[in-house]
Amino acid sequence: MADTIQRQEFDPLATGGANRRIRARVMIYGVLTLFAAIYLLPALIIFLNTLRPLDEIVRQGFISWPGTMSLSHWGEAWSSFCIGGTCEGVSRYFINSLLMTVPATALSTALGLVNGYVLSKWRFRGDAWVFGVITLGVFLPAQMTLLPWAFVLGKLGLSNTIAGLVLVHTVQGVSFTTLFCRNYFLNVPDDLIKAARIDGAGFWRIFRRIILPLSPPILIVTVIWQFTGIWNEFLFGTVFTSGANQPITSAIVAFSGSGTGERHYNVEAASVIMAALPPLFIYLVGGKYFVRGLTQGAVK
């Protein structure tokens, strides 16, 4: 008896089951919508406040429907807002971040690609040790490297420069890209390489003809991860650069942390969105690869 009742619940034609299922559907979509609101609200709140006049924000706070709206604060945030004495808006810091992120991403990805190719396809004595040391770099906390980096950058004359940050992020990033690329190339059949070698192809020819054509998927993953990671990084930027040479994350903290004077919340909100846009754009465009990088990075 009990058996038949329970079977009915999973019979798609039973009316009781249908009612239940509709109720379950409403519940599922209801809860999903509620959580989606919690996840999206901060973005919406900040965006609306970039459009509101300052006195309105000061009077009513951030969480309130805008009365009048204008796009002018975006222009101010980009080109004339004063941060720590310089009045060039965030454009300067945005460009600093680009000048830091693009070369560091390109260099660490290129090196990681070749390293990954060697470590997966050209076995030699001690390769496990080499791979081990490189991989440890992924886990080493930045705090352990702050003082040595400060010293090395000073010796190289790269203190307080974007070039210094490029160096730091490239060295740190190579561990990560090597790990990713090596794990990816392990899935390329060794026979392919062997056949090419029998045909007389050397190290670089195999790289160009076999490895490179197979790499776009992992290239996209590492570029996305390096770009978002380096763009969003804060500690190195704050410790190794100051004033007009800072990347955008440090600049944001510099203006929102200084408690003196009138706060230009609307302009600050626009600046914060500008600081968030490049990684967000990449995430929206390459979302699939973002998730792939996530799963590979976490499970391996």
Partner 1 sequence: MTPERARAPIHRRIANLTPQLVLVPTVLAAVIYVVMFSLWTIWISLSQSTLLPNMSFSGFDAYLTLWQSKRWTVAFTNLFVFGTLYVVGALMMGTLLAILIDQRVRFEAVWRTIFLYPLAVSFIVTGTVWRWIFHPQTGVELALKDLGWISAKFDWISDRDMALYVVVFTAIWHASGFAMALILAGLRSVDSDLVKAAQIDGASMPRIYRRVILPTIWPIFVAVAVVLLQFAIKTYDLVVALTQGGPGVATTVPAIVVYDLMFQRGQIAEGAAAAVMILLGLVCVLIPYAVWSSWRQRKEGADHG
What is the smallest separation between the CB atom of 110 and partner 1, expressed in angstroms? 11
The binder of partner 1 chosen from 1, 13, 71, 144 (CB under 8 A): 144
The contact mask relative to partner 1 for 68-107 (x = CB under 8 A, - = no) is: ----------------------------------------
Q: d(Cα 138, Cα 171) in Å, to the nearest integer?
A: 11
Q: d(Cα 151, Cα 14) in Å, to the nearest integer?
A: 74
- What letter represents residue 159's amino acid? S
What is the smallest separation between the CB atom of 19 and partner 1, expressed in angstroms? 15
Give yes or no for residue 210 binding partner 1 (CB under 8 A). Answer: no
Q: Which of residues 25-44 bind partner 1 (CB under 8 A)?
A: 28-29, 31-32, 35-36, 38-40, 42-43
Give yes or no for residue 1 binding partner 1 (CB under 8 A). Answer: no
Give yes or no for residue 6 binding partner 1 (CB under 8 A). Answer: yes
Q: d(Cα 78, Cα 84) in Å, to the nearest integer?
A: 15
What is the smallest separation between the CB atom of 201 and partner 1, expressed in angstroms? 8
Give yes or no for residue 45 binding partner 1 (CB under 8 A). Answer: yes
What is the smallest separation between the CB atom of 140 and partner 1, expressed in angstroms? 6
| Cβ-proximal residues to 16 (8 Å cutoff; 6+ apart), any chain | 8, 9
Give yes or no for residue 249 binding partner 1 (CB under 8 A). Answer: yes
Give yes or no for residue 187 binding partner 1 (CB under 8 A). Answer: no
Quickly list DSSP for 17-72: HHHHHHHHHHHHHHHHHHHHHHHHHHHHHHHHHHSS-HHHHHHH-SSS--SS--SH
Q: d(Cα 159, Cα 240) in Å, to the nearest integer?
A: 6
